[in-house]
Chains A and B, each alone.
Chain A
Amino acid sequence: MEQTRIGVFVCHCGSNIGGVVDVPAVVEYARALPNVVYAERNLYSCSEAGLSSLKQGIRAQRLNRVIVAACTPRTHEPLFKNACEEAGLNRYLFEFVNIREHCSWIHRKDKEQATEKAKRLIRMGVAKASLLEPQEETESNVIPAVLVIGGGIAGMTAALNLARQGFRAHLVEKQARLGGWLPHINRLCPTDEEAARLIDSVIREAQAHERIILHMPATVQEVSGYIGNFHVTVAEKEGKCTFDVGTIIVATGAEVLQPLGLYGYGRFPNVITQLELEERLRPPPSPSPVNDGGGKRWESTVFINCVGARIPERPYCSRVCCMTSLKNAIRLKKQNPAAQVYVLHRDLMTYGVEFERYYRRAMEAGVRFLRYDIERPPQVVGNGRAEAVVVWDTLRGQERRLPVDAVVLNAPLIPASDNATLSRLLKVPLAESGFFLEAHVKLRPVEFATDGVYVCGTARWPADVSESIAQAYAASAKAAIPMRAGAVTAEAITAFSVPERCMGCGTCVVTCPYQAIELRIANGGHVLSGTEGLQKQVAWVNVVQCKGCGSCVAACPSKAMQQRGFTDQQVLEMISVISGL
């Protein structure tokens, strides 16, 4: 048998690990561990230099097992596995040890103990790596169709992008019309073009495309399967509809907070939301012009930003509201240059080039900006209708009383109320805020950790139209990869049975959530010792259907079931390292 030759590569991750864990000491320690023939440290193991050093090490030291002690396997594992493969090593002979998220970052105050823990974790990794075996991956087909949930600008853009590339797109919209929020919006910032013109043409194209199948009004009721083969049930007006797709894009959008009880909303008729102002500003036949109903024009309007946003219960910035208040403030000034228009804000977040320019335009147009303090929020006063806003001006350090014809409240986008249901259906997580949580905020912004499921638009986070469109292109481009390739390889972490041990009791068969196991007569392939001539039934795992949860392995009473990469022996070896230390 070939001698086990383990190489250990310890990452400094700049000062992320190196600033807490004594990396040179850890490398020294690793070098002395059983089966370890080589150990080195890298400033960044994931860098070009780090990866080539890894490959060089594999070749020069004839390594047959590799350990990288760095960050979480949830992000960079494929990168290092690919590097192993490039150096001629089977990717399943790689073991990742997490000494950043699970060590240096959470034990910053105790460098000595953190270093000891890093050593233990690496020793556990070495114990497991010694028992790793090369594996073959299995391929499964990908159906060239996508399910897009949500018919707003993001969903339609994603569906169109894929339909144009030749894929079938099932577009599911819960309302009776397409477009999401955009049909309620007057003009778009910072170009001031009419929202209707943009959205109407996209709607027309989505409705007309031969490869887009509209389900509307409809909701997704059931999703089973995995990347390449999702089985979807949609509830429509007239019964149910089922179809199969290879990928799924979540573009369900967000809702707008109704600021009931805040700043006189619901009490004074002339306190309205930004969205209600949008409706009034829209060209005819819009419901009512910008006046008080009696024909009097607004001579004084006050916008209040961050209504119900950036507070302890809703700590995030809704991102689009500052620009919306600029947009509509400019519009009111344009309609009536003599009018007083105030924007009361906590901080004005006009990021980037275009929006900063937009801010200047608003100032030039004569819009007044006034910064208020969350500790002393503005008061809307009046009798029957709002008459004035009393606000503490933090810059001047004095109280101001602004007479008003109307008050416009800028409330944030909030997570859609059905996010939780959809999150359960698709097995994808929500963030603490209630929006969908992407696989990685920086490196994988439009996909979920679950393969084949993607996210775009305001389902993920408040975003404006151009950002939603950009994300829709990104998500659909990502979804196109497996559909274009036509096949995906499944990670070889599947279960397998040892026929000699199997009693054929079938516990695994009923345990498996994917119906991947069946009992088969053990013959031909493996004649069981002592059972020659006997017909014995043993468990057989269909590796294409097995998703690698390992539930059957834990359930097997005769230890005939094992899981590749997570065998009992591998885990127990890791445990004996901790108990023996």
Chain B
Amino acid sequence: MSEQDFHPRIVAFCCNWCSYAGADLAGVSRLQMPTDFQVIRVMCSARVAPEWIIKTLSAGIDGVMVLGCHIGDCHYIAGNHRAAKRFALLKEMLGFVGIHPDRLRVDWVSASEGTKFQTIVTEFVERVRELGPTREFVTAHRRLDTD
């Protein structure tokens, strides 16, 4: 399967106040981007449990984005700060368990940054296409389980 034929499955967790609104603005501005991602709305990037990311990637999803408000702009005082710390650690751990850390992207998108949302999505889809499906890892993992 070539990179172009591969349609990755990607989840983007967006916070209600900034990045979800930024994604809305990208829509309102008719900024075009690949179809390979689905947004899941949460109230704050701090709601995204690290466990979700691990479960998501081990369920065969090829990439996860966590997009919050810019540092200092969190609607809930400093939830994004907390998320930043959690996911810095998680990224390290992903490599440790054999998942490429690039399959997780944590970034900040304000309500006015429709263009930035488009750029992040486009870049990330491209990167995940390069990395290929997580299937191999998941299958190997399952085999270990049954052995």
Which A residues contact B (CB, under 8 angstroms)? 72-74, 98, 100-103, 105-110, 113-114, 116-117, 120-121, 124, 423-424, 427, 429-432, 437, 449-450, 493, 511, 513, 547-551, 553-555, 563, 566, 568, 571-572, 574-576, 578-579, 581
Report the count of interface residues on B (CB-CB < 8 A).
Answer: 51
B:23-55 near A, CB below 8 Å: 23-24, 26-28, 30-33, 35, 38-44, 46-52, 55
**Complex: how many Å from CA A432 to CA B114?**
10
Query: Are A74 and B20 in contact (CB-based, < 8 A)?
Result: yes
**Complex: how many Å from CA A550 to CA B41?**
12
Q: Write the chain B residue with the least CB distance to A550.
A: B47
**Complex: how many Å from CA A548 to CA B75?**
11
Query: Are A571 and B52 in contact (CB-based, < 8 A)?
Result: yes
Q: Write the chain A residue with the least CB distance to B58.
A: A579
**Complex: how many Å from CA A514 to CA B35?**
38
Q: Write the chain A residue with the least CB distance to B113.
A: A432
**Complex: how many Å from CA A231 to CA B73?**
18
Query: Are B72 and A579 in contact (CB-based, < 8 A)?
Result: no
Q: Write the chain A residue with the least CB distance to B26.
A: A106
Contact of B23 among A102, A117, A511 (CB under 8 A): A102
**Complex: how many Å from CA A409 to CA B62?**
56
**Complex: how many Å from CA A114 to CA B79?**
33
Q: Write the chain B residue with the least CB distance to A112.
A: B35
Query: Are B40 and A579 in contact (CB-based, < 8 A)?
Result: no
**Complex: how many Å from CA A108 to CA B33?**
9
Which B residues contact A (CB, under 8 angstroms)? 9, 11, 16-18, 20-21, 23-24, 26-28, 30-33, 35, 38-44, 46-52, 55-56, 59-61, 72-79, 82, 86, 110-113, 118
Query: Are A424 and B72 in contact (CB-based, < 8 A)?
Result: yes
Contacts of B49 in A (CB 8 A): 553-554, 568
With contact pairs A568-B52, A574-B40 given, residues A101 and B24 touching in the complex (Cβ less than 8 Å): yes
Contacts of B61 in A (CB 8 A): 575, 578-579
Query: Are A98 and B44 in contact (CB-based, < 8 A)?
Result: no
**Complex: how many Å from CA A120 to CA B40?**
12
Query: Are B35 and A429 in contact (CB-based, < 8 A)?
Result: no
Query: Are B27 and A427 in contact (CB-based, < 8 A)?
Result: no
Contact of A427 among B51, B75, B118 (CB under 8 A): B75
Query: How near does chain A come to B91, taking the closest CB pair, in angstroms?
Result: 16
Query: Are A566 and B47 in contact (CB-based, < 8 A)?
Result: yes
Contact of B73 among A424, A431, A511, A547 (CB under 8 A): A424
Query: Are A121 and B38 in contact (CB-based, < 8 A)?
Result: yes
Contact of A108 among B20, B32, B51, B110 (CB under 8 A): B32
Contacts of B46 in A (CB 8 A): 549-551, 554
Contacts of A100 in B (CB 8 A): 27
Query: Are A566 and B43 in contact (CB-based, < 8 A)?
Result: yes
Q: Write the chain A residue with the least CB distance to B42.
A: A566
A-B contact pairs, 26 of them (CB 8 A): A72-B20, A72-B24, A101-B27, A101-B28, A102-B27, A105-B27, A105-B30, A109-B32, A117-B35, A424-B72, A427-B75, A429-B21, A429-B110, A450-B75, A513-B79, A550-B42, A550-B43, A551-B44, A551-B76, A568-B51, A568-B52, A571-B52, A575-B52, A578-B9, A578-B61, A579-B60
Contact of A431 among B24, B31, B55, B112 (CB under 8 A): B112
Given contacts A554-B49, A554-B50, A571-B40, 4 further A-B contacts (CB under 8 A): A102-B27, A106-B27, A429-B110, A575-B52
Query: How near does chain A come to B27, taking the closest CB pair, in angstroms?
Result: 3
With contact pairs A551-B47, A554-B86 given, residues A106 and B40 touching in the complex (Cβ less than 8 Å): no
Q: Write the chain B residue with the least CB distance to A548.
A: B43
**Complex: how many Å from CA A502 to CA B21?**
35
